Each structure stands twice: as C-alpha cells, then as structure tokens.
Structure 1
C-alpha cells in the first residue's frame, strides 16, 4: 500500500530551501549524478537575482507525504521571450524530480498544467531549467556515464512517466564525444586547409581577457543571429547574457574560446569549457562551505580536467555554408589536445543539424548521450 501524499505550491523561504535540497537527498549514492552548487541553483530560482524573471515567471510545487517528507518537485514556467518570438501559447516545466511512483509524477504534472492554464497557456514543453538557454532536456539514453558540465541527468524512468502522462517528443538532441585516441583529423585538416584558401581575409584568434566584455558582446550578437532560425531558440536579453558571461568568466580557459574575424569583424565563435563536473562530483551536498571549498582546494588541479565540453558555436548567417564550423571544431580539438585535454563533448546537437552531425562523425565523434525535449497540449 502506497502512502498518501499531496502537492502544494511553494510560497515561503523554507519551502524554497526544501525545493532546492530535494535532489541532494534523492540522488545520494548515485554514482552518475553530479551535484550543482546550491548557491548557483538558489540564484537561478531567485526573482531578484536571475534576469529571466524580468520577462518570465515561475511557480514551484512540492509533493510531500503525510509526514512532510518531500517526494518530488516541479516548476511551471512562463517564458516571456519565448512567447514574444513564437506567440505559440507554450509554457514550460522544469526542475522536475520525483521518486519512483508514477502517481506522484502525475500529480506534479497536474499542478504545473493547472497553473499554466491559469496563465493563459495552451501547451507545455520541457524540461527547461528555466529556459533552453540554461540546462535543458531529458536524458533518455546514456545513463552509464556522468554528464558533462551544465548538462542534465535523471533516472531512466522519467522517460516512461512523461510518455504515460501524454507528452510526446518535440526534439531529439545528441551529445557527441570525441577522444584523442579515435579522432581522425586528417580528413578534417584537408577540409580546413581548403576553407582557409577560399576565405583568405578570415583570421582566427582566442578570447582576449583584457577586453572580455567586448568579446562577450560580439559572441552574443553572433549567437542571436546564427541561432535565430534554430528550433526552440530564444534570444538572450543583455542582462541574461551578462549573468552568463560573468559566471563563465570564472571558469573559462581563454585558449579554448575562438573567434573568427573577417577584416576585423567578428563573424563566428566557439566556446569550450573545462569539465568542472570532474571536481564537483567531490561535493555531494553541493556546498562550498564549510568543507566543500577545502575539498576543491585539495583537488589535483595540476592534473585536473582531462575533458572539455563545447556548448556554444555560431556562424553569422551570411557566412554559413563556407565550412567555418569545421575550422572551429578543428581548432578546438587540436589545440585542446595540446593543452592536455584528452576528450571533448560537443553538446547538445539538434537532430536536425545534419551538417554539424556529419562534421562530427567525420572527425570520429560518437554519440555518447541522447536527450529530448517533450511537449503536450493543455
């Protein structure tokens, strides 16, 4: 006999803390879950600290048993920038976690859908935490390896729960993995040499930390142009991007961020990050204080971060189709190896992006994980 439970909205600071705390208890002992820093999660959910709330809104829900033990959580989300671009009536769900009881998941989805209907939404899509410019997607294949930095992880039964509830797959996304033992650079190098000959005015440089803000704004401008026609793309506001850039500045390796310029004008970029999950896994409670910082300081930084993740790449529309993406991938992989990184995850890649998929497979990349976004009419 299953114990009774209830679902209710989060209104107090205490409930918000319990909402944040739940995954650290739920995933305790799971060798593949990587705990995010609690302070980062708290900032993401805080209306005064996350610029998302300047155009969006969110309602959190908790599922609890009769004794007050948390059994699950979910967020119902209205993304104003998404609605401004698409006017499709789609709201979102995110931050979903649930014990292995379908009736609990069903009740959480019911609560999120009811709130979204009250906001005038006619559909729901997710998971997005809280947008596709943040951690997003459901892991549906590849549960036997830890996710890379800023990529989601969840139990396999979540797929069944969403589909039982009536969600269908809206988009498939892939995480490609390239290890130096299997990377085939010969074919790529020939292609890159051809690209360089055909584009003699285009030069490549790394991120200039002395003018970080200027380079960051160039990346934002290219991103919003290059990705504007991609599925689900929502432009970042200036303040959203400033928050992202500020966070990334603390961890970025400038030798792994490349900009292509045509006569000095930035036209393409690629950003790769050291896989900090290799260190964060040592902080199972997600806290830096009082002991977490000591654990990180004791980490073998000299030999740390053998892998990188390439989360962002963009080429201005008028320069697309010239093979510049192959040039950026080549530089990332080759220079990454020179800096001691042995592998690179490129994620996520939309299932519809055949040009990029072909380039990654020609390089020797293989699908390491499969993610998906789901949607449902309300």
Structure 2
C-alpha cells in the first residue's frame, strides 16, 4: 500500500476529501472546514511552526484510491510532564477498517518522530491548542461540536490493537440551559452582591474587544497556563482569538468575575457553530460566507438553540471561595433570556477531577467521550497516565 508524503495540490485535495468518502453513510458527521484544516499545516498561519515541524501522509491501495491519512508533528515549546520522555504528536487520522493500513500510518508517524528524538507519541491530537481536533471519539456518536472530529467506531480498535494506551479520557458534558441550577448558586451569587461589593460579575461587551482580550488573557494565564501540555498565551494571540470570534460572538455568553476590577474568573461560551456550518459545507468562499450569514440569521431566531461552553476557569488565589458558583449564578438567567436552550461544554480531562465535580454540581451529564492515547516507543518502559491536577 503506497504511502505518500502530502506535498502537491492534488495530494492536499485527496487528504481533505477522504473523510467525505468514509463518512458518507454517517448522518451525524459534520465536516470541518477545509481551510481550517489547511491552516494547521501552513507555516504562515500556524505559529507552532516557530518551535516545531509537521508532516502528513496519504495511503493508497494498489489501484491508487486513497484509503488512509495521518499527520505527525513535534512542538518543542509544549510543556512536558516528564522531561525524560520527549513526546511528539500524531493526528488527523482517517482510515478504512483495515488494521494493516492503520498500522502502516501509525508506523510512519513513529519512525518520523523517533528520527527527531521522541520517545512516545500522543494521538490523535492537534498541531495546536487543545480546544480543537483533539482526541478520538469513543462514545456519544452524536453531532460533533465545532472544532472537534467525529470518528468511526472501529477507530478505537485500530488504535488499541497497534498498542496505543489511554493517556487520558476527555468528557463532553451536556445540560439543558432552562433547567434550574441548584438554589445554592443563586444564594452564593446574592451573598457576593450583598456582602462583598469588591467583587462583581458581568458579561463582556462587543464594543470593547481590547478589554475582552486583555481580561481573557489575564485569567487564562493564571488559571490554565501552568497545566501540563498547555502553553502560556500572549496578549497578541488573545487579541487574534477575539477578532476571529467577532463574527459569531454573542456578548451575553462571555462572563467574567472581577475583584477590585482585576479579572479573576471566566465562563466563556459561543453559539454552537456546527449547528450553522452543517448547512454551509466544507468550503468557505464567497458563496459559503453568504450562506453562513443566512444560516446564522436563522439560527439566532430558532429553537432549540445550542451554545458551546468554550472555557471556564478561576485564578488559583480565588479557588474554593465560591467565585465559580457566583459567576454561574449571575449568568444563568441571562443565558435563558438570550434564548439558548442547550449547552455542551468543551471537553474536560479525567485528570481534572475538580472541574468535573463543578460540572456535575451544575447538573450536567457526560454525553461524549474522547480518548487521548499514548504510544511508548520502548515497550519495556512503565506506562503512566496523565498526572492528576491537585
């Protein structure tokens, strides 16, 4: 089965087209946008190329039909949980139900990474941030949220038969927005309002994107940047993210907590964009953009209307003080008033039991499970799962 490095326009098109063939009978599959996949592999658009490199392949049968694809990458700036175990990444895997074909793709990644000094590979992951294209879907084969892949059920067997082991599980949780929160959320919110005037909770303003970016940047680096595998964020990158969100941003979904005007917590959500993009298609040229505007107009006026919980965090100095409960208590009525009926939250790793407990306290339940696998190249080495966040 010939394995080809993706280098020419025709091969890029074959890489992008393969999922359409594999998922043609899967009614819940929603294709990612072609240009967003391509931007991962474009050094001019992906800043991770400043500290790493990437390669991708397509696999064909004897007749030249593409039957698989995969990518491998290294990023020397990504924090490692164990400095003695340099880990690379593989992702964007798609394949027919054939273990030999899958093994050939996995072996290509392993060999390329070993040549560059890696001792293990995680996958399927992204050559970028964890908020998209991360993990293998193994349960909850419903429509994917924007930025996440839908996978065929047999992929799990392909990974595990090759020797991948579960590094961590990723849980996507769901709740009805209109379902009441436990009364203690409102009680804690009222306590903060009445007894702690130095704290305030408010949603962001579209009219001040610089403040939104600065507040997000500040809380993100306090709450998340010290986690294994998560890089600190520059203010410039935060501004870029806000600019990217502006066409779809609903300010009523972007909530911050402040102490003496210092941002200390956030709960940031977006309209669930795949509920729009599933009507638009893979390409986003002029016609795609016009269709997007029309579908967004319809989305904003229909029910049920789903939102996506993008990121949630509290600065460490304020954790355990009820700030998170107060933030949710203040935001809940506003979310209902904005017309949202359902929320699925960005995945939470099983290495983060505290966040999972907060999610359960909100009345949310697990609706999807992804797995980030790890393959040790030295089979005699003791396998260890992702460290638990204390």
Normalised to the residue count of structure 2, the TM-score between the two structures is 0.88
Aligned to 1:131: 128
| 1:6-51 deviation per Cα after TM superposition (whole angstroms, max 9, x unaligned) | 2222222332232223223322242111112212222222111122
Residue in 2 that maps onto 1:309: 308
Q: Is the 2:92–2:124 contact (alpha carbons within 8 Å) kept by the matching residues of 1?
A: yes
Structure 1 residues 121-151: Cα deviation after superposition (integer angstroms, max 9, x where no partner): 11101221223434111111101x2122223
Q: State the 1:206 CA deviation.
A: 1.7
Tell me if structure 2 keeps the 8 A contact 1:188–1:362: no
Q: CA deviation at 1:266?
A: 1.3
Report the counterpart of residue 189 of structure 1 in structure 2. 186
Question: Are the aligned partners of 1:195 and 1:322 in contact in 2 as well (CA < 8 Å)?
Answer: no
Summarize deviations over 1:344-367 as a string: whole Å, max 9, x none: 112212223333323322322111
5 Å-filtered alignment, 1:257-272, equals 257-272=254-269
> 1-side partners of 2:95 and 2:65: how far apart?
12
Change (3 A) 1:332 1:24: farther
- Partner SS for 1:261: strand
The equivalent residue for 1:278 is: 275
Superposition deviation, residue 291 in structure 1? 4.5
2:53 to 42, 53, 57: 57
Distance (whole Å) between structure 2 residues aligned to residue 229 and residue 277 of structure 1:
30
- Larger displacement relative to structure 2 (343-352 or 253-262): 343-352
Equivalent in the alignment of 1:7: 3
Q: Secondary structure at the match of 1:203?
A: strand
Q: Distance in 2 between matches of 1:344 and 1:174?
A: 14
Cα displacement (A) at 1:260:
1.4
**Mapping for residues 93-172 of structure 1, pairs under 5 Å:** 93-135=90-132, 136-143=134-141, 145-172=142-169
**Structure 1: how far apart are the matches of 2:362 and 2:342?**
12
Query: Across the two proteins, how many residue pairs are aligned to each other?
Result: 372
Q: Distance in 1 between matches of 2:48 and 2:198?
A: 39
Q: Secondary structure at the match of 1:82?
A: coil
Aligned pair partner of 2:246 in 231, 240, 249:
249
Change (3 A) 1:55 1:221: farther
Q: Displacement, 1:233?
A: 2.3
1:16 alignment partner, one of 12, 16, 28: 12
* Matching of residue 78 in structure 1 with residue 74 in structure 2: yes
Equivalent runs, 1:317-356 vs 2, <5 Å: 317-356=316-355
CA RMSD of aligned residues (A): 2.3
- Does the 8 Å CA contact 1:226/1:317 hold for their aligned counterparts? yes
Structure 1 unaligned spans of 5+: none
Question: Which whole-Å CA distance do the structure 1 matches of 2:359 and 2:244 have between them?
Answer: 28
Shift of 1:279: 1.4
| 3-state SS of paired residue (1:129) | coil
Structure 1 counterpart SS, 2:276: helix
Report the 3-state secondary structure (helix = DSSP H, G, I; strand = E; otherwise coil) of the residue aligned with 2:77.
helix
Contact 2:209 2:242 in 1 (8 A): no
CA contact under 8 A between 1:76 and 1:93: conserved in structure 2? yes
Most deviating of 130-139 and 89-98: 130-139
How far does residue 212 in structure 1 lie from its aligned partner after superposition? 1.0
Contact 1:333 1:344 in 2 (8 A): no
Check 1:320–1:147 CA distance in 2 against 1; reply closer, same or farther (3 A cut). same
The alignment's TM-score, normalised by the length of structure 1, stands at 0.90
SS in 2 for 1:24: helix
CA separation in 2, counterparts of 1:242 and 1:184?
33
Superposed displacement of residue 181, structure 1? 5.2
Instruction: Give the Cα–Cα distance (whole angstroms) in 1 for the partners of residues 195 and 228 of structure 2.
Output: 30
**Distance between the aligned counterparts of 1:180 and 1:242, measured in 2?**
29
Q: Which runs of 5+ in 2 are unaligned?
A: 378-390
